[in-house]
Amino acid sequence: MEKISNEKRMEILKAAVDLISERGFERTTVDEIASRANVGKGTIYLYFENKEKIFIAIMENGIQALIRRMDEILSESGDFRQRFEAMLKEHLEFAEDHREFYQVLIKERLNMKLIGDKGAQDRIMEKHQKTHQQLTQFMQIGIDQNQLRNGDPNVFAFAFSGIVSHFCFHGLTEMKQGSLVDQTPIILDLFYNGVGKKE
């Protein structure tokens, strides 16, 4: 019997991420994932019950990586704006370094509603909520340090997430030159200063 290994599991997930980012979740088959991972179809089922379970693992692993890094940034001290810029750059670098996963995260998140595993749905939604809570906490730090105006940090977090998500989606799907990190000053200016004409 083939030995179970974490390395093989990660190779399968990497192949699945690549394919789903190219073809979409519904059009990707287990046969294609096996072929891309250079394993037999039977090997896939040693690690995952079905394609749905592969998708769940992709989402959980990727979001958890974001949560871990955000926890590290929140535990650091120092000037809010410097930390905020560093956090944004790291997020954009993560999106570039994990381009295929990020495309899956953006384009396929609605497919979570199609997944029959209610427990998995709940776990992934909890992780999404955790990332928002972390960003909200960061916004509160900015308010406390008088770097952001008084307001609802939850709303600030939603606004910032929207800007970053759209820049990432455009950058990963349409931008032919440059890098996402190069967009850091533009994103920060939009968030801090908005687009309204100054009097």
DSSP string across 115-166: ---HHHHHHHHHHHHHHHHHHHHHHHHHHHTTSS-SS-HHHHHHHHHHHHHH
Query: Would the pLDDT of 1 be above 60?
Result: no
pTM of the model as a whole: 0.80
- Domain check: are 66 and 37 in the same one? no
- Domain check: are 44 and 64 in the same one? no
- Domain check: are 35 and 87 in the same one? no
pLDDT value, residue 115 = 65
% of the chain surpassing 70 pLDDT: 91
% of the chain surpassing 90 pLDDT: 47
- Domain check: are 65 and 19 in the same one? no
- Domain membership of residue 199 (yes or no) is no
pLDDT value, residue 56 = 87
Q: What is the mean pLDDT of residues 154-178?
A: 86
Tell me the residue range of the domain where 149 lies.
54-193
pLDDT value, residue 156 = 97
Helix (H) or strand (E) holding 50: none
- Domain membership of residue 173 (yes or no) is yes
- Domain membership of residue 198 (yes or no) is no
Instruction: Choose the weakest-confidence range: 18-27, 28-37, 107-116, 161-170.
Output: 107-116
Domain count, the chain: 2
